[in-house]
């Protein structure tokens, strides 16, 4: 094994040395990571629900989604992320969790996607769709009315009705404002877009997340599949074999999870075999900083 390869379990040692004195390790292993603010531990690969679980009341597609979540649980479970913006995705997750009797077996993450005045009603509806009254994480979606909505979420957390508070953005937008919020607000989580093609978060947001002890959830790891489709005909770089990545999808996830600030990545899928493939990336080694730079350069040259 190449000395540059960060082995499973060894990552924590390297990462811990880079943390501020007051901070806990951002990750304990390649497959499970700490949430710095509370010390809770979650699997590094979660699952998103944008588009894939928005299936309405179609029984066949509801059952397909249930199969995906069943496989996700078999592979260790973890963060399931949704939003009121995602159509019927919340209801699909609630349906699947009820079918699998697994309501308390996932790290439930959802969002407020409305003004503060309407937020309490939306949260009630969100809980009803999931079939839960307490979420592990609630986030302010795309910074909407973030000051008042964060106040509401902090109050819920203080009252013991919520595990963690977060804020989200996507598509690399409003990073300046997000940075100000991360610097000034005691959020537990930040959710942002980061992948081989969208690396802006490397400059300030991810280092700030490490510095402030904010867990980072990475969305759009495949740019909604476009990255995989675009790379499908390109040869994998030599380091893929070294990392045990058999596909571009696995290499893309390893690139994200190799960043020491990444707590969790949430690829969305409709296919059971893709869930298993995504989950398997943390069983092998992850790239260190030098390999990640090399991979980014390889990608940029394509």
Partner 1 sequence: MQWLDYRLRDFLLFAPDTYWRLFEQANQAVWPLPLIVPLLLACCLAARRRAGAVPYLVTGLLAAAWAWCGGYFVGRWYAPVNWLATYAVPAFYLQALLLLWFGMFRNGFGGQPVTGARRVVGWTMTAGALLFYPLAALPRGQGVIAGEFAGTAPDPTAIATLGLCLLTRRLTAAACLPIPLLVCAASFLTLRAMESWQAWLLLAAAAATLGVLATNSRVR
Report which of 95, 100, 124 is spatially closest to residue 110, judged by C-alpha positions.
124
Residue 40: which region, alpha, beta or left (left: phi > 0; alpha: psi -120 to 50)? beta
Residue from 38, 270, 271, 280 in contact with partner 1 (CB under 8 A): 270
Q: Residues 80 to 99: which contact partner 1 by CB under 8 A?
A: 85-88
CB neighbour list of residue 78: distance below 8 Å, 6 or more residues apart: 42, 43, 44, 45, 46, 47, 72, 106, 107, 264
User: With binding defined as CB under 8 A, does residue 7 bind partner 1?
Assistant: no
Give min distance, CB of 162 to partner 1, in A.
Answer: 25
Give min distance, CB of 56 to partner 1, in A.
Answer: 5
User: With binding defined as CB under 8 A, does residue 121 bind partner 1?
Assistant: no
Mode of pairing for the β-strands spanning 41-43 and 32-34: antiparallel
Quick note: the x/- pattern for partner 1 over 167-186, rule CB under 8 A, is: ----x-xx------------
How many chain residues are in contact with partner 1, going by CB under 8 A? 19
User: With binding defined as CB under 8 A, does residue 55 bind partner 1?
Assistant: yes
User: With binding defined as CB under 8 A, does residue 4 bind partner 1?
Assistant: no
Residue from 9, 13, 58, 186 in contact with partner 1 (CB under 8 A): 58
DSSP notation for 220-274 = -TTTTTHHHHHHTTSPPPTHHHHHT--SHHHHHHHHHHTSTTEEEE----S-HHH
Cα(146)–Cα(80) distance, rounded to whole angstroms? 22
Choices 54-62, 149-157, 182-190, 205-213 (CB under 8 A): range interacting with partner 1? 54-62
The footprint of partner 1 (CB under 8 A) covers 51-52, 54-58, 60-61, 85-88, 171, 173-174, 224, 226, 270
């Amino acid at each position: 094994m190449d000395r540059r390869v960060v082995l499973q379990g060894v990552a924590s040692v390297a990462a811990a040395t880079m943390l501020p004195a007051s901070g806990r390790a951002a990750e304990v292993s390649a497959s499970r990571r700490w949430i710095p603010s509370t010390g809770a531990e979650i699997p590094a690969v979660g699952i998103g629900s944008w588009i894939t679980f928005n299936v309405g009341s179609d029984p066949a597609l509801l059952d397909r989604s249930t199969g995906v979540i069943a496989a996700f649980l078999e592979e260790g479970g973890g963060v399931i992320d949704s939003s009121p913006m995602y159509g019927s995705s919340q209801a699909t997750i609630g349906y699947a969790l009820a079918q699998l009797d697994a309501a308390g077996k996932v790290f439930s993450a959802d969002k407020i996607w409305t003004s503060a005045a309407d937020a309490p009603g939306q949260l009630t509806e969100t809980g009803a769709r999931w079939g839960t009254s307490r979420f592990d994480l609630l986030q302010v979606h795309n910074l909407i009315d973030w000051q008042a909505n964060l106040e509401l979420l902090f109050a819920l957390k203080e009252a013991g009705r919520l595990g963690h508070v977060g804020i989200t953005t996507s598509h690399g937008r409003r990073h300046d404002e997000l940075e100000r919020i991360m610097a000034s607000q005691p959020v537990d989580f930040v959710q942002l877009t980061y992948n081989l093609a969208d690396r802006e978060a490397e400059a300030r947001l991810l280092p700030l997340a490490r510095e402030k002890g904010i867990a980072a959830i990475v969305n759009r790891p495949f740019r909604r599949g476009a990255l995989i489709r675009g790379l499908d005909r390109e040869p994998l770089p030599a380091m893929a074999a070294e990392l045990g990545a058999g596909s571009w999808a696995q290499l893309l996830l390893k690139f994200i999870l190799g960043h020491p600030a990444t707590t969790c990545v949430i690829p969305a899928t409709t296919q059971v075999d893709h869930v298993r493939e995504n989950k398997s990336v943390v069983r092998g080694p992850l790239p260190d900083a030098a390999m990640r730079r090399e991979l980014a350069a390889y990608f940029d040259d394509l």
